[in-house]
A and B are shown apart, each in its own frame.
Chain A
Amino acid sequence: MRAIVLLPVLMFVLIAGFFAWALLGRNDASLLPSALIDRPAPAMTLDPLLPDLPGLDVAALKGEVVLVNIFASWCPPCQIEHPVFMKLARENAVPIWGINYKDKPEAATAWLQRLGNPYKGIGVDPQGRNAIEWGSYGVPETYVLDREGRIRHRYVGPVTEEAWRDTLAPIVRQLRQ
């Protein structure tokens, strides 16, 4: 009989705890988990954006840990993450492959000329249909592929220095072991 008095208190703690977890934790409901984690990256061969750089052949990415980045010149967050990719390319930290999403080739080319090109190769996806194969729901998105060509992580939004250091770099390091 005494214990039942504590029941409302217990329920309050339970509900308050749930709210605290939902409000204070880093649970951004708009960030979706990928359905393709640990699944092979979708096979596709995309035409090159630039004449002197290869396009994207996903099957050829096997053998090393790589990043595949979906970007567009019309996408402001892509411009935010661009310097980080430039730095990674300079340091040879990890090969980065690009999918140019729903972009005009001239606009994308000018964008890369202005900001530099960190990509090993860029395939074009003018209709955005190939991005759907990746389960993409916006730009920018960055996928980490392991040596067997499986998707091991998806990062939604701009890859900032912190995002690289705290999230992506440890994954890349671990996959290389």
Chain B
Amino acid sequence: MKTLRFLLLLAIVLLPGAVLAVQPDEILADRALETRAREISRHLRCLVCQNQSIDDSDAPLARDLRLLVRERLVAGDSDTQVYDFVVARYGDFVLLRPPIKPITWLLWFGPALMLALGGIAVVVWFRRRPTATTAAAPLDAEDRARLQRLIDEDGA
């Protein structure tokens, strides 16, 4: 009884995740093409919601674009041709993974650049510290005599 209740609860919790934006009438009969369409759809941004892929989005425009992707695939386009077709109309913004080009260099390489700068800063910091400690002046005769006195007192 407890197991059954647990399974039922699990199903209720997990079920919403299984609800897809892709409607049955959109799905292609050709399994291979459909798989490619799903993969492409996952990488295309829904321009209405902007932070969802068209594969996730229920927006009517997302559905139109899903149908368009499938249409292009059926017409014999390669994946690259499908992406190019959509990018030609909506720009790079439609790609959830921005392409590497001069304008996106800062985006792609910025974090590595920051890490390198931080590394350089740390190296410079540690290089400076030891020179400050070793530069301490050696004890003169008076200090040495005083030190010796203290050691002797302690030993006595």
Contacts and interface: CB of A to CB of B under 8 A. Distances in A.
A30 B48 CA distance: 8
Interface centre among A30, A128, A129, A132 (most CB of B within 10 A): A132
Interface in A97-146: 102, 127-129, 132-135, 137-138
A71 B65 CA distance: 19
B74 interface: no
Contacts of A35: 87-93
B101 to A, nearest CB: 14
A32 B87 contact: no
B64 interface: yes
Contacts of B119: none
Q: How large is the interface on A (under 10, 10 to 19, 20 to 34, 35 or more residues)?
A: 10 to 19
A36 B89 CA distance: 7
> Chain B interface secondary structure, helix, strand, loop or mixed?
helix
Contacts of A170: none
Interface string B79-99: 000000001111111000000
A137 B68 CA distance: 14
Nearest to A30: B50
Contact of A129 (B68, B87, B90, B91): B68
B122 to A, nearest CB: 14
Nearest to B92: A35
A132 B61 CA distance: 9
Contact of A32 (B60, B68, B88, B91): B91
Given A132-B89, A133-B89, A137-B90, A32 B64 contact: no
- Considering the complex of A and B, which 4 residue pairs feature the smallest CB-CB distances, nearest first? A35-B91, A137-B47, A135-B89, A135-B90
23 contacts: A29-B50, A30-B50, A32-B47, A32-B90, A32-B91, A33-B91, A33-B93, A34-B91, A35-B92, A36-B89, A129-B68, A132-B64, A132-B65, A132-B68, A132-B89, A133-B89, A135-B89, A135-B90, A135-B91, A137-B48, A137-B61, A137-B90, A138-B48
Interface of A: 29-30, 32-36, 102, 127-129, 132-135, 137-138
